[in-house]
Amino acid sequence: MDKNLLTKLAVESKKASYSPYSNFKVGAALLTKDGKIFTGANIENAAYTPSNCAERTAVFKAVSEGYREFEAIAIAGGFSDETADYCYPCGVCRQVLNEFVNADEFIVLIAKTAEDFKEYKLSQLLPFGFGPNDLR
């Protein structure tokens, strides 16, 4: 897995952010198990609640194209294209990711820049998560 490519694409995807209300730009890059990458950006709405996070944009793009098996996601967010702090996924996005992955294996890269990132397993960010197995 090319982690630097994933973080680079997440940082680049911030450019597509539609965030006129918060001015907070988030980009994500989701790697499928067969090596395809889906990017996403946050998309806000004047009615606020219909807004969608970058991570969910990437997941929904992938799933709606027939991809359901994922290896990793990179996330980058901040108030400008250039500088950023580490941006962690919201609880809703952690839950959406948990629907499709093994949380002990799925890698989450939190990128400040393409080179400067922290690495987690989803289970570290969503311990004791509720998922599909609980309904089997």
By annotation, the residues acting in catalysis are 55
Dmax (CA) of the chain:
45
- Choose, by CB under 6 A, the member of 11, 14, 37, 44 that binds ligand THU: 44
The phi and psi torsions of 132 (rounded to 5 degrees) equal -55, -35
Q: Give the nearest distance from C-beta 60 to ligand THU in angstroms.
A: 13
Compare residues 20 and 66 and give the one whose CB is closer to ligand THU: 20
**24 scored as a contact of ligand THU (CB under 6 A):** yes
State the residue for tokens 């998309």: 43
User: Any bridge partners for residue 76, and if so which?
Assistant: 27
Spatial separation of the C-alpha atoms in residues 37 and 86, rounded to whole Å: 21
Q: What is the per-residue binding string for ligand THU in 69-88, x denoting contact by CB under 6 A?
A: --------x---------x-
- Choose, by CB under 6 A, the member of 45, 65, 69, 90 that binds ligand THU: 90
Q: Give the nearest distance from C-beta 42 to ligand THU in angstroms.
A: 3
State the residue for tokens 């400067």: 116
Compare residues 26 and 31 and give the one whose CB is closer to ligand THU: 26
**93 scored as a contact of ligand THU (CB under 6 A):** yes
Task: Look up residue 14 and give its DSSP letter.
Answer: G
The string over 12-32, giving b where at least 16 C-beta atoms fall within 10 Å of a residue's C-beta and e elsewhere, is: bbbeebebeeeebbbbbbbbb
Which of these ranges, 4-12, 48-56, 61-69, 110-118, lies near ligand THU under the rule CB under 6 A? 48-56
